Amino acid sequence: MEDQLLGSRLWLSLKESLTANHVGAYNIKVDQIFNSDLGFTDIVLDLKHVLNIDSVGVTFVIGLFKRTEASGRSFSVSNASSDILSLFRLMKLDQFFKMND
The pLDDT value given to residue 55:
96
pTM for this model (two decimals): 0.92
CA of residue 3 relative to chain centroid, distance: 11
pLDDT by residue (tens digit) across 31-46?
999 998 788 999 999 9
| 9-13 β-sheet, strand order | 2-6, 9-13, 42-46, 74-78, 98-100
**What value does the mean pLDDT take over residues 38-64?**
95
**What CATH superfamily classification does 2-100 receive?**
STAS domain (3.30.750.24)
d(CA 30, CA 12): 9
Percent of the chain with pLDDT over 90: 90
